[in-house]
Amino acid sequence: MARRQSIRTGKSRVAADLEAPLVARVETAPAPVGPETVAEIFRRLSALNPEPRAELAYVNAYTLLVAVVLSAQATDRSVNLATAPLFAVADTPEKMLGLGEERVRDFIRTIGLFNTKAKNVIALSQILVERHGGAVPRARDALEVLPGVGTKTASVVLNVAFGVETIAVDTHIFRVSNRIPLVVAPTTDKVQAGLEAIVPAPYRLNAHHWLILFGRYICKARRPECPRCPINDLCRYPSKTL
């Protein structure tokens, strides 16, 4: 009985590592850009992509939650390849529980840390059924107690599924924010708080998507593509590429 309780509500060391905020040395020296520049940055990103969409595939709030949990330390592409057949047979927590942990593990075997993630998916599905009638809660505190769910995952679900103006900070947003810089901070939690305080209201709902896509395809980690960057003239990053 004690083991069962641990699976349902406890979080393993690996799971805790997956949820922990990133901590890194801030590489940029310049002071953050001012409010007018922040507004112009998001105006340009918005003009280039007026209706940004998440690249993770999902069919409802529950499958979005599962997909984001699985995406920790994995690419969206690898997650989509694994979840397409999984969600075809289990798109509710009840159906996922019907599969059981072993079958879920088989579906997601190609994703890193699949053993821990399979446990988390079953455990969070059990909690959703027992405490929330099978629905994904709209409250941050209720989301963050679910196994495998941390600040970033909760923010993605709140933003994408429920239209909450929150900014989930992943590695891309963390890098971009410190490079431009929009917010200079050593952890993802502090970057999130800073961004949510400075992004103008008209752009806040989609800021998460714009910054992720910008970091994924233009402001890349190893060699940012500065020559084709739409905000090159506004960015203060000292190590721009030629």
Residues identified as active-site:
152, 170
Beta-carbon contacts of residue 227 (< 8 Å; ≥ 6 apart): 241, 242
What's the chain's length in residues?
Answer: 242
CB count, 10 Å around CB of 27?
A: 13
157-196 as b/e: b if 16+ CB within 10 A: bbbbbeeeebbbbbbbbbbbbbbbbbbbbebbbbbbebbb
Q: What angle do CA 108, 60, 166 make, to 5 degrees?
A: 100
Return the amino acid letter for 117. K
Q: Is the dihedral of CA 6, 11, 14, 18 positive or negative?
A: positive
How many angstroms separate the CA atoms of 77 and 50, rounded? 23
Q: Name the nearest CA neighbour of 215 among 190, 188, 193.
A: 188
Alpha-carbon span 166 to 152, nearest angstrom = 10
